[in-house]
Amino acid sequence: MQFDTDYLKDVLTQIRAEVGKVIIGQSHVIDQALTAIFTNHHALVEGVPGVAKTLLVRTLARVLGCDFARIQFTPDLMPADITGTNVFNLQRGEFVLVKGPIFTTFLLADEINRSPAKTQSALLQAMQERAVTIDRTTYPLSPNFTVFATQNPVEYEGTYPLPEAQKDRFMLKIIMECPSREEELDLARRMLGTDSPEETLASGAVKQVITDGLLTHLRACLREVTVQEQIISYVVDIVRKTRQHNGILVGGGPRATQALLLASRASAILNMRSFVIPDDVKEMARPVLEHRLVLRPEYEIEGLTIAEVIAQILQEVPVPR
């Protein structure tokens, strides 16, 4: 069954409309989450408590007709709590698998940096191979398995920072900021009525636009997006520049190049175009690169941020004509 880009644009319009019934503002966040989903990758979501990180993923799962599960990461969480374990069934006289919450389609790993590396690593195989190994037996996950992992940017006490290898497996770092005054006023008014975001989602007012099985077919539309050779070279030059910048200790690797290219192609579709332009690359550069780069300590002490370094790199790399 084939779908053209016009069909995908129509579906994206419907998805945005349904998600917008619950998520107030945050249009760029919704688009970045859709970028991760439609490119079949994972996203790291960062924001202070109360900016609707969990609600965003729950709403997307409802609109896209996918299963949803949430794991609250804590220091005492064990890998088996995520993957599941074999339990002996006395009636049947054999071990049976009790599946963990990882057997879903959209997984929200809430405050992933609250648990130690041993527990964090339980997600690595699932994110890379979409499979889980339990007691030497490998079980497949949904082909649409997507991890949205959240972090609190202002609370680091008692946390275990993600290793660089694990952060590199997240395609995007989505920054969820506090709403504007008008958006917060709208939220406050809705909370006093019967149409608060949580009640809107629970009431069934948010409609399902597609099914879980249709996601795989819709991704084929991305292959129809034209990416010229100059754009590919532009992406490669930007990532390679991160390895040469004086302020960066660790630059982006080949996976960053692939992620930026795929994200730019998804950005073109989200902007209702069937071809990629340099602005698509610029728009996705920070979400794709920010969590992959490590600043040199001396530059960090001077107050330089990774976002500022990325902006400098985008100014230095020649834009294709």
Nearest to 225 by CA among 270, 257, 184: 270
Confidence tier at 3 by pLDDT (50, 70, 90)? very low
* Residue 191 reports pLDDT greater than 80: yes
Distance CA 279, CA 256 (A): 18
| Domains in the chain with CATH codes | 5-211 (3.40.50.300), 225-316 (1.10.8.80)
Global pTM?
0.90
Nearest to 133 by CA among 95, 80, 179, 180: 80
**Top-confidence residue, 106 or 12:** 106
The string of pLDDT tens digits covering residues 265-300 is 999 988 888 899 999 999 999 999 999 999 999 888
What share of the chain in percent tops pLDDT 70? 97
* Residue 96 reports pLDDT greater than 50: yes
What count of residues does the chain have?
A: 321
The string of pLDDT tens digits covering residues 223-258 is 888 899 999 999 999 999 999 998 899 899 999 999
Strands 68-72 and 106-110: parallel
pLDDT at 156: 65
pLDDT at 155: 65
The string of pLDDT tens digits covering residues 156-174 is 666 778 888 888 889 999 9
